[in-house]
Amino acid sequence: MFNTRVTRMLGIKYPIVGGTMASISNADFTAAISEAGGIGVMNSIMYQTRDDFAAALDRVKKLTDRPFAVNLNFFPAQFPVSQSEYTEIMGQKGVRVVETSGHTTPPPELCRRFKELGMTWIHKCAGPRYAVKAESLGADMVTVVGYENGGAVGQLEMGTLVMVPTTAGRLKVPLIGGGGVVDGRSMLAVLALGAEGVIMGTRLLVTQESPLHPTLKQALLAATELDTKVIMRTVGAHRVWVNGAARKCAEIEAAGANFEEVLNLVSGENSRRTYYEGELDRGIVPCSQGIGQVHDVPTLKQLFEGMIRQASEIVAGLAGS
């Protein structure tokens, strides 16, 4: 029933893409998402040397023989890596799917290199205009997310209900849509709006395979749809779970904090202390408004199968009525 151009082109069972998450989308989590029937996307920026990156790709391939993707991030980074160099390593290791994201599209020569290496190129961008640009450069698929999304929300402040059909109507290539997708209902809604796949991040955090500390998983289970807020508007707006770090960030921004003060507070090191050591107020945690609909900690396989079953039942019920 959910056989789309996204599933066929990527060679996956379900039209579900695991969103790239900083300090979380490592080799093991990427492989687990792919093994469950979606496609995991490994975050290349987590690996700061050629050898570490190559070893991570080997690790994914050891853990799964199913398709996976690698994200190349074109946002400014504190520890920038050579995207072209990493692309060549991906080619050597047989990676077949690349996702790019950031303020700009990759340089044209890198776009051409993706094609030469036989990769399917997915570009994640902020809205319809950028999606059309990516398609013109040769992107095979485009991803957009609405304002409910966890993490970077862009400047358009356009909800998923408007973002997805507006973008889908301007593209010929398949669209992957997201922003608050946590179950079969929200997946089906995004597909009905014109997407051919969905991207999920927040819901995947609260699964058995997620590398998050158990204390943080329990805190997220207790969160409601009101427990997120958009901060970091001075450095690129992000929706995060409301904790001590998020409140502090909003406070110092309101008081006129400079760029460096904000970045020091929301640093990756602080977030990793929250993710992996359970220090709940130490760092920020990107989180969508959909967190209020998350009530259990399933395996990824249970989650995906449950989503497909729920969506199928809704379709059957609507047809029957």
pLDDT at 79 over 80: no
The mean pLDDT of 208-220, rounded to a whole number, is 98
Is there a domain that residue 196 lies in?
yes
Instruction: Give the span between the Cα atoms of 121 and 317, in whole angstroms.
Output: 36
Helix, strand, coil % over all residues of the chain, rounded to 5: 45, 15, 40
Give 309's pLDDT tier (boundaries 50, 70, 90): very high
Based on the domain organization, do 80 and 184 belong to the same domain? yes
pLDDT digits (tens, 9 = 90+) for 143-187: 999 999 999 998 899 999 999 999 999 999 999 999 999 999 999
Q: Based on the structure, what is the number of domains in the chain?
A: 2
Give 105's pLDDT tier (boundaries 50, 70, 90): confident
pLDDT at 263 over 90: no
The pLDDT assigned to 228 comes to 98
Based on the domain organization, do 14 and 105 belong to the same domain? yes
What mean pLDDT value characterizes the chain?
95
The pLDDT assigned to 78 comes to 57
Is residue 78 a contact partner of residue 45, using CB atoms and an 8 Å limit? no
Based on the domain organization, do 243 and 170 belong to the same domain? no
Based on the domain organization, do 22 and 137 belong to the same domain? yes
pLDDT digits (tens, 9 = 90+) for 226-250: 999 999 987 789 999 999 999 999 9
Question: Residue 229 has which token pair?
Answer: 């807020």
Question: Residue 132 has which token pair?
Answer: 């059309």
pLDDT at 276 over 80: yes
Tell me, what DSSP letter sits at residue 293?
Answer: G
pLDDT at 69 over 60: yes
Range of the structural domain that residue 270 is part of: 228-286
Based on the domain organization, do 204 and 234 belong to the same domain? no
Give 259's pLDDT tier (boundaries 50, 70, 90): confident
pLDDT digits (tens, 9 = 90+) for 189-212: 999 999 999 999 999 999 999 999
For 255, how many CA atoms within 13 A lie in the half-sphere containing its CB? 9
Is there a domain that residue 47 lies in?
yes
The pLDDT assigned to 197 comes to 98
Is there a domain that residue 217 lies in?
no
Is there a domain that residue 151 lies in?
yes
